[in-house]
Amino acid sequence: MSSPKTSIIWFRRDLRINDHPALLAAIESSDQIIPLFILDKQQIEEAGSKLLAYMGQSLRALDESLGNKLHIIEGDQVEVLSTLIKKYGVEQVHISAEYERYGAARDARVEAAGITLVRTGSPYAVAPGRVLKPSDATPYKVYTPFYKAWCTHGWRAPAVTPKKFTCVEPTPEYRAFPDFPMPEGVNVIQAGEAAALKRFKEFSNKALDSYDENRNFAGIDGTSKMGSYLKFGEIHPRTLLAGLGESKAHDTFRKEIAWREFYADVLFNNPMTDVEYYAPKFAQMRYDKPGTQFKAWCEGKTGYPFVDAAMRQLVHEGWMHNRTRMVVASFLVKDLHLEWQLGERFFAEHLVDYDVASNAHGWQWTAGCGTDASPYYRVFNPIEQGRRFDENGDYIRKYVPELAHLSAAEIHEPWLFLDGYSKNYPERIVDHAIERHEALARLQEIKADKPPMPGA
C-alpha cells in the first residue's frame, strides 16, 4: 500500500477554518493534512504581552476547530518544515500569501532553502499591489481614488467551509502550546473564530445600520471591534464585506475595511514606512526628546480627560476607540512635539489588534506626514474632541475614576471647577493653546527650509 498523500497547511495570520482558500487548497491536494503553526522566537520577543496572550487563546480555539490536531512547535521555519516534509513525505506546503516586510522575507528564506510554498489567498479582500491607476499602472497615493478603484476591482465571495477532512495525529513534541499569561488586571476581547463570527453578527444586528452616525462616539459600543480578529485572521475581510448593502452606514463600514487594505498597499509599495517618514521632510522637523511628559502620556496622566481615558483604555483592554486613537496621536506629536514613532511603538506594545501597516500609517496620517495626511496644521483639540464625542462624559468616567464625581458640564475641563482636582486628578502637563502655536511654528521652519534653532 502506498502512504497517504500529505500536505501541510502552515497557519500564520489566518487562524480560522471558515473562508480559508489555502486550507481548501491543502485539503483538495491530498488525502490528509498537517495543520501547523510555528512559534517564531523573534516575533515573540518583539510582541506585546497582551497580543501574545490573545494569540495563545486564539491558537487554542483553532486547535479545537481542528479536532485537537493542530501541530504547534517553536523553532526555525526551515528546520520545522523540513523535518515534517521528510517524516510524512509531504508533497506541498500551503500558505496564505504575506506582503508585509517580515512575513515576505521569512517566506522567501523558506523558498530559498528549497521548500516550495503554494500561495492561495491572503489576509486581504484585494491583495496589496493589485489596485493600480489605469492611466500609468502605478500605485495610488491617495485614499479616495484607491477606494473607488478597489471597489471596481472587486473581490471574490467567501470561500466555502470544509465539511470533512483528515488531519495527521500530532506527536507530543508538536503540541507545544505557548503559555503566555494575560497581564494582571487586563481584560481583552474574547479570542477565536467563533467569537469573531458571534461579535460580527451582534454588530450587524445592533450597530451596522447606524455605523456612520455612532462610530465616533467613544462612550457607546458603536464599532465592530473586528480589528483583533482581522489581525489574527480569525475572520476574513471578505466575510465582513459579503453582506454589505449600499446605505451610507454600510458604505462607511466598507470604507473602514478599505483603509486597512489601502495602508497594506502603501506599505507594500513603500516597505520602510512602518518606521520611516512617508513624507521625508518631516524628519527634519524640531522634535523634543521623550521625558516626563511622554511618561505621563503613556500612563494616561496628561491632565486632559479625553486623552487620559483613551490611554488607560489601551493599557487595560489592549484596544482603543478609533476616534481617540487620532486624538492621543495628535496630542503626542503636536502638543508634546514628540516623533510619531514613539507612539506607534507604544501602541504596538499594547494593542491586541496591532497591524503593522494600519498602525504606522494611522500614526503618520494624524502626524501630518503620511498619505492623505490630515494637514499638519490640523491639530485636534483634546477638550473639544471630548465634548463632541463624549458629551456626557461617560467614557471619561469609566476610565478616569478621579473625575467620576463631575457633571457633564465640568468633566472636560476639571481645572475650571473647585472640585475638579479633589480626587487627585493630575494637573495639565501642557497648555494646548500654547503648544498648538508652537507646533505650527515648527512646521513653518521646515516649510521655509530654515535650519533648526540652536540647541534644538
From residue 247, give the alpha-carbon distance in Å to each of 204, 206, 229, 242, 253.
Answer: 13, 15, 24, 14, 10
Rg of the chain over all Cα atoms, to the nearest angstrom: 24
For the question of whether the overall pTM of this predicted structure is more than 0.75, the answer is yes
At 242-286, the pLDDT tens digits run 999 999 999 999 999 999 999 999 999 999 999 999 999 999 999
Residue 15 sits at φ, ψ, to 5 deg, of -85, 70
At 450, the pLDDT band (50, 70, 90 cuts) reads low
Which one-letter amino acid corresponds to residue 18? N
Give the helix/strand (H/E) hosting 73.
Answer: strand 71-74
Res 372: pLDDT: 76
Res 455: pLDDT: 41
CA distance 213 to 220: 11
> Other CB atoms closer than 10 Å to residue 290's CB: what's the count?
15
Give the helix/strand (H/E) hosting 95.
Answer: strand 92-95
Which domains are seen in the chain, by residue range?
A: 6-122 (3.40.50.620), 124-158+193-269 (1.25.40.80), 280-447 (1.10.579.10)
Res 454: pLDDT: 42
pLDDT at 291 over 70: yes
Which residues does 159 contact at the CB level (< 8 Å), separation at least 6? 19, 20, 21, 24, 121, 238
Cell of 24: 481548501
Q: What is the mean pLDDT of residues 92-99?
A: 97
Residue 448: is it exposed, middle or buried by C-beta count within 10 angstroms (0-12/13-18/19+)? exposed
